[in-house]
Amino acid sequence: MGLRNRNLFLGKKCFFVTTSCYKHIRLLESDLCKLIVANSLNFVALKYKISILGYVIMPNHFHILLYFNKENKLSNTMRDLKKFCAFEIRKHLEVNGSPLLNWIRIANEKQVFKVWDDRFDDVWIGSKELLEIKLEYIHQNPLQSHWNLCNYPEDYKYSSAAFYLGNEDSVIKITDYRDIFD
């Protein structure tokens, strides 16, 4: 995976990151697949000394706000995260005989199944104001009319919205951005 000018941001700490399932297929529809992503995020956060400031896991993509407490290893983080999730999601689909396997099977000598788009998008967060805009976007994502997954952001289980309203019970360990940006 090419760095796409990411080397210009190696000294930066905070990023808004989005990655999508292959062909926007709803591979993360089930709670189990969302938990695979959540557990993987918790793992890479520990491995790379990352604070997760916000997240939402949608049926075919996810958004995260990452803060690198030590060295910025964004490409390594996303590589590890996507690789582990792809293996576990594919395994889950195989065990359950999911018809989605036919949608992600590819004719390629390097891989048999494709769970994620090759790239991920990232935006450097250089201010508290931009972080708050991205966090609001993340929390409003499940309410968009084409998703309509809940009535209130804090009702969506796979989001950090409830955390920011005082509910500490989250599938992902969250660090309050105000502890870093204030």
CB 44 within 8 A of CB 51: no
b (16+ CB within 10 A) / e for 101-136: eebbeeeeeeeebbbbbeebebeebeeeeebeebbe
| 146-173 per-position pLDDT tens digit | 999 999 999 999 999 999 999 878 899 9
- Phi/psi for 137 (5° steps) reads -60, -45
List pLDDT tens digits, range 126-137: 999 999 999 999
Strands (E), 21-164: 50-57, 61-68, 121-124
Is the pTM above the cut of 0.75?
Answer: yes
Q: Is 150 exposed, middle or buried (0-12, 13-18, 19+ CB in 10 A)?
A: middle
